[in-house]
Amino acid sequence: MSKQKVIFDTDAGTDDAWALITLLKCEERFNLDVQAVTVLTGNTVLNHGCQNILLLLKTLNRMDVKVYAGSENSILPKPVFMTPHHGNDGLKDVFSPSEKPSLDLIQKKHAVEAMKDLIEESPNEVIIFAVGPLTNIALLYKMYPRISSKIKALHIMGGNFMGIGNVTRCAEFNFWYDPEAARIVLTETQCPLTILPWEICLSSSEFTPHDGWRFGTLNTVRSDIMDLMDKIECEASRKNFTPCDAYMIACFAFPSMVLKKKHHSATVELSGEYARGLMVLDHKLLTKPNVYVIEEIDVEMFKKVLLWVCGHEDSGI
């Protein structure tokens, strides 16, 4: 059986790190082939993001995975949004420049060109996981209008379905950072499109993995990757362990983790003092559905998945 080809599009923050770790762990078991990691500005600036991915790949002994630098800003440029959760460099500023791999290891081809080439080489065989702003994918669609129909599937972590925001009152970060890109992608995607929205990842929910579990159970088996993630998360994430992007990868690999998923017609609001970046669903069913929205997941199963990812023998996976 031929492997499922994968592109991982990321802005390289802490939750992106968990997603990439999970994806690479799933490669052999689920017959996947991660052909490229494409990076863009979002949680941090592009160069920091590229170095973060290289650092993760080095720790995982996976420097065979090619990394491409993509968009340096949103379609309508804005200052990079920094949060205490990710720090200035996207990984909590715990590493010195000398500890991070050289940017010389980044592929010379632009990420959008790399996406286009990989998709055209294997039409209808490439799955894209997008866990940052959607600028790279929007540019791909606009530069190569027929490319969307050649993608096998697109899975996005972003947006919201109950109007609960994490950067404004009602907008999730990835869609808020580049709402024009999000609107383009939701409007122009022609392959199956699945979104895991922000609300099911809320750290205040009793259903999400709590910080005591993260630091009392998940890290009981030691490894290079746990040493790396503990260093990154030892302070800030003790109060806010929210591995949103990893949820999306786990839902793909373990479909039974998805307890509720609905087919919606969705777009993105581009105007308004409060609503810019909000994902808007057509509950009146006036327009054709274009996206599957995951609305509930089995977090106890997700915990087992993370235990398996980190090498626990009794994970139950």
Nearest to 147 by CA among 115, 178, 179: 115
Sign of CA dihedral 155, 29, 305, 217: negative
What pLDDT shows up at residue 237?
A: 47
Residue 258 neighbours by CB under 8 Å, 6+ apart: 251, 294, 296, 297, 298
Residue 44 neighbours by CB under 8 Å, 6+ apart: 11, 12, 13, 52, 80, 82, 86, 87, 88, 89, 90
Residue 270 neighbours by CB under 8 Å, 6+ apart: 179, 180, 183, 276
Number of H helices, E strands in the chain: 10, 10
Cα 204 from Cα 214, distance rounded (Å): 15
**SS3 category, 77:** coil
Domains and CATH numbers, the chain: 4-309 (3.90.245.10)
Cα 196 from Cα 259, distance rounded (Å): 12
Residue 275's CB is within 10 A of a number of other CB atoms, namely: 18
Query: Which residues share a beta bridge with 50?
Result: none
Residue 107 neighbours by CB under 8 Å, 6+ apart: 66, 67, 68, 69, 114
Phi/psi at 224 (nearest 5 deg)? -60, -40
Nearest to 9 by CA among 165, 161, 171, 181: 181
- Give me the tens of pLDDT residue by residue for the chain, a chain 317 residues long: 789 999 999 999 889 999 999 999 999 899 999 999 999 999 899 999 999 999 999 999 999 999 999 999 999 987 665 555 667 777 777 777 788 899 999 999 999 999 999 999 999 999 999 999 999 999 999 999 999 999 999 999 999 999 999 889 999 999 999 999 999 999 999 999 999 999 988 754 555 666 778 888 898 888 888 988 988 887 544 556 889 999 999 999 999 999 999 999 999 999 988 899 999 999 999 999 999 999 999 989 999 999 999 998 888 88
Residue 56 neighbours by CB under 8 Å, 6+ apart: 17, 20, 21, 228
**Token digits of residue 186:** 């939701």
